[in-house]
Amino acid sequence: MPTPAVSVVVATYRRCALLPRLVEALEQQSIGASKVQLVLVDDASPDDTARVVADLAVRSSLAVTSLRLPRNCGPAAARNAGWAAATAEVVAFTDDDCVPTPGWLAAGIAALTDGAVVAGRTMPNPAQLGQLGPFSRTIRAEDGRFVQTCNAFYRRADLVELGGFDERMRTGEDTDLALRATERGRRIVYAADALVHHDVRPSSLRATLRETLRWTDLPLVVRRHPQVRDSHLHQRLWWKPSHPSAAAAMAGVAAAVAGRRVAPLVATLPWLRHRLLVAPLANGAAERVAALPGAFAVDALEVAVMARASVKHRTVLL
């Protein structure tokens, strides 16, 4: 077969039901299916992923290369295996819970001029907006700051030079790679027309708390790339704008419980203002109040996870 114009790398884990939808979206790309190599990397999924991938490889009009890792190694290792198997000069990354729009590849390739890394636009899936809630999860990326691998384009030669993703990292590995690229003289180009729709996970406090425990490598990104304190962080220290007032509220609650006094609870007022007026998690007044306990649990856990990770990586990020 002729060399494809682009190799699309997708790392997948336990989401076999979503793969046919993704393949169909890639088959409908405006550049034509014959110009696309799809590299599907199964990160040792315990479900039916291997069978689904094998079936798609036979039926799809795309050139499908399928890989299966012998054990679960995380997204960085899976994507490294994927781009290493890519045969095109251009490597595009997306995820199994995404649906690229028909012009995605054409726009990303057009923006990938010499010396560039491209971050495309990612928006919540419009068919799933009804699932948005205070503790739902999706990705909205309307700039090129993080270059998330749900929507990114690299030249394969640059990936070789950079050594790919750091496989020791379970989170933040995509931003780390992009920052290393800029430190080697590449520039980040944002391509608004390279649009991908990301699934919306229904609102779930339990799932949000569980996912928060994963973000343990973000201080390592800051340690390696201290310039992100000015470009990515709130007040150069905080992961999210809600965290300063959340930390103060945590101290106030702890002091109130320890001293059996109400007065220290005044420290919670800035956080309450932030979550009720500045950055509420719901629209209506009653819904905002109802979300407060869960919001405090999430903000407090995020601060605690960052504090512990800061000790681990010897860099302060809260």
Q: What is the pTM of this model?
A: 0.93
pLDDT for 207-257, tens place per residue? 999 999 999 999 999 999 999 999 999 999 999 999 999 999 999 999 999
pLDDT for 181-208, tens place per residue? 999 999 999 999 999 999 999 999 999 9
User: Model confidence at 285, in pLDDT bands (50, 70, 90)?
Assistant: very high
In this predicted structure, the answer to whether residue 1 has a pLDDT above a threshold of 70 is no
Q: If you compute the radius of gyration of the chain from its CA atoms, what whole number of angstroms results?
A: 21
Tell me the C-alpha distance between 64 and 9, whole Å. 10
Domains of the chain: 6-203 (3.90.550.10), 210-318 (no CATH)
- 1-15, 75-89, 185-199, 304-318: segment of lowest average pLDDT: 1-15
Instruction: Quote the DSSP letter at residue 201.
Output: B
Instruction: Please state, in angstroms and as integers, the Cα–Cα distance from residue 222 to each residue in 117, 139, 158, 315, following that order.
Output: 20, 21, 22, 7
Residue whose token pair is 């930390």 = 247
Instruction: Please state, in angstroms and as integers, the Cα–Cα distance from residue 67 to each residue in 84, 95, 108, 156, following that order.
Output: 11, 15, 25, 18
Count other Cβ atoms within 10 Å, centred on residue 179.
21
Tell me the C-alpha distance between 241 and 179, whole Å. 22
Asked whether the beta carbons of 99 and 15 are under 8 A apart, the reply is no
Q: Residues with Cβ < 8 Å from 6, sequence gap 6 or more?
A: 31, 35, 36, 37, 88, 90, 91, 92, 105, 108, 109
